[in-house]
Structure 1
C-alpha cells in the first residue's frame, strides 16, 4: 500500500515536471516570438525590460514623389545623449562649444533624463555636417551625432497618401505569419493601406544600452547600434505626385477658403495624378473626427451640370442629335418658365449656357433607345467604374493602387422607367454620384481624343537602393472610348463654355492657358438655416491646342451665391503656366 502511494505521488510529480518542462519549451523555444492567442513577443518584451533604447528609424518604407524625394519622412542631423553620462566624466564643454550651446543646460537635460534622448526634444537641435563630424571624432561614450528619420509635420497630399496606426490585434489579423511587437505601424487609409504589405517594417534601427533593474549599466557604458541586415529593405513607393505643384495647389485651395472639397490634377498623356488636395485637412490626434481623413477627391459626390458632358458625348457618338435640332431653353425640365431663359437653341449653344431642358430631353431619348446608354458612356469616359490602376502583381490578381468610389448613374433599374427621374439624371442630379478624380479623368479622356486610360498614383515600388522591384506601366483601357469625331466635337463644346460669347465660364478666358471645360452647380439636399447648399464644380483641360493638364475643382456645401469656383481654377491654371515657363527657362 505504501509503495502504491509512493508510485502515485512520484507519478504526479513526474507529470507536473513534464508539464512544466513542456510549458518551458513552449515559452522558450516554440512560441517565444508569438506567445498565446495575443501573439506576445516574449523575446522583444524581455529585451525592453533590460535595455534603454532610442529608435533611429522605425523601418517603415517611404512614399516618394515623382522626383524621388520623400513625401512623408525627413532626415534630421541630431545629437543623441544617454543618461549614464550623468555618472561618468566626459568632455561636455567640448560638445557644448562645437554646438555653440550652454554647457549647463546640456548637463541639466542629461541629469533629468531617464532614457536616451535627442537634444532639443520635440524641436531637436539640428546639426550641420561639420558639427556631426567633429562630435563623432571625439568618440565619446553615450554621445552620438547621427541622422534620424522623422515623420514630416505636414505631409503633402495627406489624404491620398493615407494614415498609419498602431494596432497589434489588427496587425496579426492582416499578417498572421509575421511576428512583430505592439508598436508596429500599419496603413489604415489611402496608399498607406493599399501598399501596406510592402511598407511594413522588417526591423527597426536603434541604439541600445543594457541596464540593470535600477537603470545602471549592465555591461559598462557600451552602446550598440542595431539595424536591418538586408540592404534592400525597407521598400519605397514612388508616387506620381509632383511635390512642388502639390504644395502650391494646397496653398491656392486654402487661399480661396475651400472648407470642404478640393482639387485634383492629372497629366493628360499618362493619366498620372500630379496633385490631389482634399479639404478639410487631417486633424492631428483626431484624424477621423470629421472629413479630414477622407479623400474627397476619390469620394462620390453629386456633380450637377458637369454630367451633361456624358449626355452630349453619347448623343453625338450615337448620331442621336445634330446641331440642326433646337430645344426650348425658355422652359425648365418640367415645362415651366425657366428663371434664366435662353431661347430656342441647339446642343452646342445649350452646352455653353448649360441649358437643363436640352439635356433632360436628350437623356430621355437616350434611355428610350437603350436604357444602359448613360451608364455605358459614363464608364467609357472614365467617369465611373474602375478608374484607378488595376492589375496583377505578385499574388494579387486585381491589385488596386488606390481605393476609389466607383460612382453610379441610377440607383436602380426602376428609375429608368420614370421620365422625371431620367430628366433629373440628365442634368447630373437625382442619384448621379461621381468622384472629382473621375471627372478629371473624363476631361483627360476627351483631351486625348477619346482614348481612356487608368488613373495612376504610383509608378513603381523600389528597393532601398533605388533599383526597381515592381513597375506600374501606363494602362490604355480603350483606344476609341469615343469616336475621333465625337471627341473633336466635345473638345469644341468644352472650349465654347469658356471662349463662347454666352459661355458660363467666360471668366476663365483671361487665364494664361486656353481652357476648355464644364461648370456644374449641384443641389445636395442639405441646408443650413433653411438655405440650400450646393456643390460647385469646374472641370476641364489645358492648354486647349496641346492638352497637358486635366483639372477638376469642387467647392462643397456652399450657398447659391457664395463659394465661386472659377477664381481658384484660374489661379491653379496660371500657377501651372508660370511653373512651365520657369522650367523652360531653366
Structure 2
C-alpha cells in the first residue's frame, strides 16, 4: 500500500518536473521574443531589469523641410543624469560650475528621479560644445553630455505631417508578415500614414548603463552608446515645406483668429506645397476633438463663387462670353429684385469681377442645355474633381498617394439634379452639392497661371537614406485628363485680374499690394442656426500676375455671415512673401 503511494507520488513529481522543463523551454528558447498573449519580449525585459537607459532617438524616420531643417524634432545638446548618482559620492559642484546651475538644483532633480533624465526636462539646459567636452572629460558614471532629439512643442504643418500612435490591431493588419513589436508607433494620419512603411522605426539610439540589484552602477562596465548599424535606416522624408514661410503663415492665421479653415500656398514652378495651415489646432490630449487632427485643406468644402471660374471657362469655350451681352445684375439668381446687391446691367467680364450670381446662374443653365455633363467636364479640366496630390507607382507600392487623406470634389450627386433649372443655377454659383478642396482650388489657380497645364501637387520631393543617398525622388507629373486650352487660360487670367483692378471688384482691396494679384473670392452659405447664417469665406488666386510664382487659397469655414472676408489675411501673406523674396 505504502509502495503504491510512493510510486504515485513519484509519478506526480516526474510530471511536475516535466511540466516545469517544458515551461522553461518555452520561456528560454521558444517564446523569448513573444511570450504570452501580450507578446512580451523576454530578452528585452530581462535586460531592462538589470540596466537603465536613455533613448536619444526612437529610430523612426523623420521629416525635413526643403532647406533640410527638421520639422518634427529638434536636436538639443543636453545633460543626462542617471538616478543612482543620488546614492554615490561624486563631484556635483564641479558639474554645477561647468553648466552654471546651482548644486541644489541638480541634487533636487536627482532625489525625485527613478529613471535616467535630461536636466531641465522638456525645457532642457542647452549646452555649448565646450561644456559638453568638459562634462564628458569628468568621466563620472551616470553623467553624460549628449545630443538628444526632442519632439517639437508645435509641429509645423501639423495636420499635413500627421499624428502617430500605438495601434496593435492596425499594425498587424498593415504588416502581417513583419515581426514588429506591438508597441511600435505607426502613422495614423497625414504623411506619417502615407509614408509609414518607409518610416517604421528601427532600433533606438540610446545610452545603456548596467546596474546591480539595488539600481547602483556595475563599476568596470562602461556606458554603452547603442546606435543602429544599418547605414540606410531610418530614412529622411524631404518635404516641400519651407519652415520659415510655414511659421509665418501659422502666425498670420492665428493673428486673424481662423478657428476653422486655413491657408495653402503652392510654388507654381514646381507645383509643390510651400506652406499649409489647418485650423483648429491639434489638441495633444485629444487629437480627434473638434476636427483638430483633420487636414481641412484636403477636405472637400462648399466653394461658393470660387466655382464661377469653372462656369467662366466653359462659357468662354462655348462663346457665351460676348462682351456686348448684358446681364441684369440687379436681380437675384431666381430673377427677383436683389435688395442686397444692385449692380445694374453688366457684361460678362464685369459680372465676374463683382461676382454677379444672376449672370453665372443663367450661364450654368445655358451650358447644361448644350451638354448635361459640361460643368463636371470643366471642373475636371481645372483639376477640381479628382485627387490632385502626387500619386503613382513607387517600387512595390501600386498607386501610392502622398496625401492619403485627400478627398475628391463633386458637382452633382444625381441625374435628377441636372434637369432641375433651379438646382443647376445654384450649382453654377458653387452652392448645393458642389464641393472642392482648398488644395484643389489653389491648384486650379496654378493651372490657370501656367496657361492651362495641369500638374499633380507634391508635398514630398524625395526619400533619402541615412547615408545621404536617394531612395526615391518624386518627379513633377501631369495630372492627366483633358486640360483647358492656352487661350481659355489667358482669358481666365484676365478675368481673375479684373476681380482686383475693377473699382467694384470683390478683390479691389488688394490693388496696392507689392505683388499684383489675380484671383476670385467666394462666399458660400453652409447652414443657418436660429437667426444666424453661417458661411464659408474664400479667396483663391495667384501672384505676381505677370510672372506667376505663388498660388494660394485661404478659407474660413462655417463663420457667421457678419464676419469679415479673408482679404486681410491674403494681404498679410502677399506682403510677407514679397519681403521674403526680397530679403
What is the TM-score with the length of structure 2 in the denominator?
0.94
Q: Does 2:191 match 1:178?
A: no
Unaligned runs of 5+ residues in structure 2 are none
Find the counterpart in structure 2 of residue 358 from structure 1: 359
1:238 corresponding residue in structure 2: 238
Counterparts of residues 312-351 of structure 1 (less than 5 Å): 312-339=312-339, 340-351=341-352
Mapped pair 1:43 → 2:43: yes
1:498 to 500, 507, 512: 500
In 2 relative to 1, CA 398–4 (structure 1 residues): closer, same or farther, beyond 3 Å? farther
In structure 1, C-alpha distance between the alignment counterparts of 2:227 and 2:145, rounded to whole Å? 16
CA contact (8 A) 1:238 1:462 kept: yes
In structure 1, the partner of 2:421 is 419
- 2:118 aligned residue: 118
* 1:9 positional shift: 9.3
Identify the match of residue 489 of structure 1 among 488, 491, 498.
Answer: 491
**Counterparts of 1:256-267 in structure 2 under 5 Å?**
256-267=256-267
The match for 2:557 is 556
Counterpart Cα distance in 1 of 2:4 and 2:394: 68
Deviation at 1:256, TM superposition (A): 1.4
Specify the alignment match of 2:296 in structure 1: 296
Q: Which residue of 1 aligns with 2:448?
A: 446
User: In the alignment, is the contact (CA less than 8 A) between 2:388 and 2:479 conserved in 1?
Assistant: no
Q: CA deviation at 1:322?
A: 3.1
Question: In the aligned structure 2, how far is the partner of 1:510 from the partner of 1:223?
Answer: 64
CA deviations over 1:312-362 (Å, ceiling 9, x no partner): 112212445433333222222211112212223222121111111111121
Q: Alpha-carbon deviation of 1:95?
A: 1.2
Whether the 8 Å contact between 1:310 and 1:374 is mirrored in structure 2 is: yes
Structure 1, gaps ≥5 residues long: none
Matches of 1:349 and 1:35, distance apart in 2: 74
Q: Aligned partners of 2:391, 2:412: CA distance in 1, in Å?
A: 25
Give the secondary-structure state (helix, strand or coil) at the position aligned to 1:519: strand
Relative to structure 2, which stretch is displaced further, 181-190 or 61-70?
A: 181-190
Once residues 467 and 489 of structure 2 are traced to their aligned partners in structure 1, the CA distance between those partners, rounded to angstroms, is 44
- Which position in structure 1 is the counterpart of 2:214? 214
Q: CA offsets per residue over residues 234-259 of structure 1, 9 Å max, x none?
A: 11100000111111111111111221
- Are 1:142 and 1:221, in contact at CA under 8 Å, matched by a contact in 2? no
How far apart, CA to CA, are the structure 2 residues paired with 1:391 and 1:486? 29
Contact 2:209 2:223 in 1 (8 A): yes
Deviation at 1:553, TM superposition (A): 0.6
Superposition deviation, residue 222 in structure 1 = 3.6
Name the CA shift for 1:313/1:4 in 2 (closer, same or farther; >3 Å): farther
Name which of structure 1's ranges 428-437 and 21-30 shifts more when overlaid on structure 2.
21-30
Matches within 5 A, 1:271-282: 271-282=271-282
Tell me the alpha carbon deviations over residues 258-301 of structure 1, each in whole angstroms, 9 at most, x when there is no partner. 21111100011111000011111112212211122111111111
Whether contact under 8 Å (1:454, 1:474) holds in the other structure is yes
User: Which of residues 488, 510, 513 is equivalent to 1:511?
Assistant: 513
Cα offset, 1:561, TM superposition: 2.7
SS in 2 for 1:253: helix
- 1:463 Cα deviation after fit: 1.1
1:218 Cα offset (Å): 5.3
Corresponding position: 1:571 with 2:572: yes
What is the TM-score of this pair, normalised by structure 1? Answer: 0.94
The aligned residue for residue 543 of structure 2 is 542
Structure-2 residue corresponding to 1:270: 270
1:191 alignment partner in structure 2: 191
What is the SS of the residue equivalent to 2:461?
A: strand
1:28 maps to which residue?
28
Shift of 1:137: 1.5
Give me the whole-angstrom Cα distance separating, in 2, the residues matched to 1:336 and 1:186: 56
Conserved? CA contact 2:39–2:182, under 8 Å? no
Match of 1:523 among 525, 529, 549: 525
Match of 2:84 in 1: 84
What SS does the corresponding residue of 1:333 show, helix, strand or coil? coil
More divergent stretch after superposition (258-267 vs 101-110): 101-110
Answer whether contact 1:38 1:169 (CA < 8 A) is retained.
no
In the alignment, the residues of structure 2 paired with residue 105 and residue 505 of structure 1 have an alpha-carbon distance, to the nearest angstrom, of 58
SS of residue in 1 equivalent to 2:511: helix
Distance (whole Å) between structure 1 residues aligned to residue 15 and residue 123 of structure 2: 59
Contact 1:63 1:236 in 2 (8 A): yes
Cα distance, 1:93–1:490 mapped onto 2, change above 3 Å: same
Give SS of 2:424's match: helix
Question: How many Å separate the matches in 2 of 1:68 and 1:325?
Answer: 54
Given the superposition, is the C-alpha separation of residues 451 and 92 from structure 1 closer, same or farther in structure 2, using an over 3 Å criterion? same
Per the TM alignment, residue 182 of structure 1 is displaced from its structure 2 partner at its CA by 5.1
Equivalence map 1:401-420=2 (5 Å):
401-402=402-403, 403-420=405-422
Cα distance in structure 2, aligned partners of 1:42 and 1:420:
69
Q: What's the CA shift string for 1:145-198, capped at 9, x where partnerless?
A: 010000001111111111111233433332233344454221111111111111
Deviations 1:384-410 (A, max 9, x none): 202100000122110000121112111
Secondary structure (helix, strand or coil) at the match of 1:79 reads strand
In structure 1, distance between residues paired with 2:25 and 2:400: 41
Q: Contact 1:261 / 1:280 at 8 angstroms: preserved in 2?
A: yes
Partners of 2:21 and 2:352 in 1: CA distance: 82
